[in-house]
Copies of this chain bind each other. A is one copy, B any other.
Amino acid sequence: MIVIMKNDASPSQLTNVIAQIEGMGCQAHVSRGEERTLIGIIGNGRPFDRERIEQMDGVDKTMPVLRPFKRASREFHPEDTQVTVRDVVVGGPEVVLMAGPCAVENRERLLEIAVEAKARGAQMLRGGAYKPRTSPYSFQGLGEEGLKILAEARKETGLPIVTEVMQPELVPLVTSYADVLQIGARNMQNFALLHAVGKAQCPVLLKRGMMSTMEELLMAAEYILSHGNTRVMLCERGIRTFETYTRNTLDINAVPLLKQLTHLPVVVDPSHGTGKWELVEPVSRAAIAAGADGLIVEVHTHPEEAMSDGGQSLKPETFSHLVDSVRRIAEAVGRTA
């Protein structure tokens, strides 16, 4: 941490700041420039509270030197983490495709989609039993009934299941059915939920909040890691910007930058990242070209009847086309799919 004093800071203000730093168990290194005096803080290994210093008279601002995440950081854990989900490995040489409907709607429909998704090349099945919906009047998901249907689809197809959990107290129930717990974008900073999945014995797919920086995403991962669960996958799914022609703006820069900053696998959701089914295939290719370890794609056999996200869901034949073109890109970057 560096403290920058105001250009008119008095000697006694400087003395007070140094005393405060030392009182917090740290060392203060003063460096006098022509216009400003700086204080470098050598820490004691514990996180440092900038705001206490920023409040003091004579202080202009403070600037952090170190990134605030540790367990999630590649600096502290240089090797790639591979997350194994049954027989599927995410974060290894193979690009992993997760596909399925936004929501589990009923047994027949889900089984139909699962069979199609597998036949077309999916390695995992996605589908929501608990749905976060902007409107209280929209379909909210089938709940445990949906989890049972997912489990039946896994039995039939062998595909591991990715499904969302929205409440800490439901983590044990969802874990008893799911292979991967998904934390949705709106819950990325639901800290009680992060705590709960951090205690769970189950891989986690952590979606970036639509309003969250990469640093906040990595801090959310840090919550889960620090509670003991190391099987965390990050998911870029688009951020909110001023652009209105697309539902979100998929942050393609985040893919290589996250791969550089962290050892955790990075998955991309082109369905939410674009909000338009016509864009899903080209953006999927882009994600793999940029280094993503997998994709999570909305696929539906009858998107025009879907209870949510129909407009961004692919039909099975379109998904087949995506799989083919993604495979060619995977090969072009030295991977398989």
Which residues of A approach B to under 8 Å, CB–CB? 2, 4, 7, 20, 29, 31, 33-36, 38, 40, 42-43, 45-47, 49-56, 63, 65-66, 68, 75, 132-138, 140, 166-169, 186-187, 189-192, 209-216, 219, 222-223, 226-227, 238-246, 249-257, 260-261, 273-274, 276-279, 282-283, 285-291, 303-313, 325, 328-329, 331-333
Contact = CB atoms under 8 A, between A and B. Distances in A.
A113 to B, nearest CB: 15
A66 B35 contact: yes
A38 B252 contact: no
Nearest to A216: B134
Contact of A135 (B52, B186, B219, B239): B219
Contacts of A211: 209-212, 240, 242
Contacts of A222: 135-136
A40 B51 contact: no
A192 B187 CA distance: 11
A283 B279 contact: no
Contacts of A38: 2, 40, 65
B245 A241 contact: no
Contacts of A75: 7
A42 B51 contact: no
B33 A40 contact: yes
A49 to B, nearest CB: 7
B241 A241 contact: yes
Copies in the complex: 4
12 contacts: A29-B31, A31-B31, A33-B42, A47-B137, A50-B311, A51-B306, A68-B135, A136-B222, A140-B191, A209-B211, A245-B257, A331-B332
A183 to B, nearest CB: 12
Contacts of A35: 66
Given A282-B291, A283-B252, A285-B289, A65 B51 contact: no
B167 A192 contact: yes
A264 to B, nearest CB: 16
Contacts of A212: 211
Contact of A65 (B36, B50, B277): B36
Contact of A311 (B54, B255, B285, B309): B54
Nearest to A40: B31
B242 A253 contact: no
A186 to B, nearest CB: 4
A14 B81 CA distance: 31
Contact of A329 (B29, B215, B279, B332): B332
B273 A283 contact: no
A249 B253 CA distance: 7
Contacts of A55: 277, 303-304, 306, 310-311, 313
Contacts of A278: 256, 260
Contacts of A261: 245
Contact of A310 (B7, B54, B250, B313): B54
Contacts of A214: 243, 245
